[in-house]
Every structure is written in structure tokens, then in C-alpha cells.
């Protein structure tokens, strides 16, 4: 089945700096890659997603890039703010029979220092 690796597990940045979180996946047929933000004690919330036919997608301060050849995708947050502090999860959806489930990475705890 699909396997998603996520790095780093923790990340501390100064307010205003950029943060980058990287994920790799194993199933070359995976075609949908969402990113979720989970604040302490709250539900995971979708912040951005990308499909395999697109290389990059941006939404204000957040961007995701996808390299299908290398089977990795990354989340980029620019001009970080204290409210960006949370745990971020990447996920992948395999195609075919497994396309009903998301396989998640283990998460990255981002701390933005004021």
C-alpha cells in the first residue's frame, strides 16, 4: 500500500520567516495530495491540496509543489505568523481500489516564535 514520509517532525521559525515541510510517497499512481492543519485539541482542517496533473498551487501565503518524478511534494508557508503554529499533515490518495482513503504522514509540529 501507499506509504507517506514527512519531514521534519518539528520546525521552529521566527515570525516573518518561511517554513517548508516535505513529504515523499511510495505509490507512483497516487493522484491527490492534501495538506491539513491541526491545532491542539481541534479537528484537522484542509489548507491546500494539489492534483497530480499540476506542479504548483498557491493560496495567499501558502503554496504546495509536486514533483511526480521524484514522488515528493512540499508545503511552503511564507511570512509566518504566530497563528500558523500547529501540526501539519500531508496525505496522499492512491488511485484505483485504494482511492477511498487518505494515507497520512506523521505530522510536523510548526512553532512560530514572535
Partner 1 sequence: ETGVTQSPTHLIKTRGQQVTLRCSSQSGHNTVSWYQQALGQGPQFIFQYYREEENGRGNFPPRFSGLQFPNYSSELNVNALELDDSALYLCASSSGRIGVGYTFGSGTRLTVV
What is the contact surface with partner 1 in residues (CB under 8 A)?
4, 6, 32, 34, 36, 42-46, 49, 89, 91, 93, 97-107
| 110 DSSP β-pair partners | 11, 86
User: Is there a contact between 37 and 86 (Cβ–Cβ < 8 Å)?
Assistant: yes
102 φ, ψ (degrees, to nearest 5): -105, 135
The distance in angstroms from the start CA to the end CA of the chain is 41
Taking the least distance from each CB to partner 1, the nearer of 36 and 73 is: 36
49 vs 78 by CB, closer to partner 1: 49
The minimum distance between CB 16 and partner 1, in angstroms, equals 28
- Smallest gap from Cβ 43 to partner 1, in A, equals 4
Amino acid at each position: 500500500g501507499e506509504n507517506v514520509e514527512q519531514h521534519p517532525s518539528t520546525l521552529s521559525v521566527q515570525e516573518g520567516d518561511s517554513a517548508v515541510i516535505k513529504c515523499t510517497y511510495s505509490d507512483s499512481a497516487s493522484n491527490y495530495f492534501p495538506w491539513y492543519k491541526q491545532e491542539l485539541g481541534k479537528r484537522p482542517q484542509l489548507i491546500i491540496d494539489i492534483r497530480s496533473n499540476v506542479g504548483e498551487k498557491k493560496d495567499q501565503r501558502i503554496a504546495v509543489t509536486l514533483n511526480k518524478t521524484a514522488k515528493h511534494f512540499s508545503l511552503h508557508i511564507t511570512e509566518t505568523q504566530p497563528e500558523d503554529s500547529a501540526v501539519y499533515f500531508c496525505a496522499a490518495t492512491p488511485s484505483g481500489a485504494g482511492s477511498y482513503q487518505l494515507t497520512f504522514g506523521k505530522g510536523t509540529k510548526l512553532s512560530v516564535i514572535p
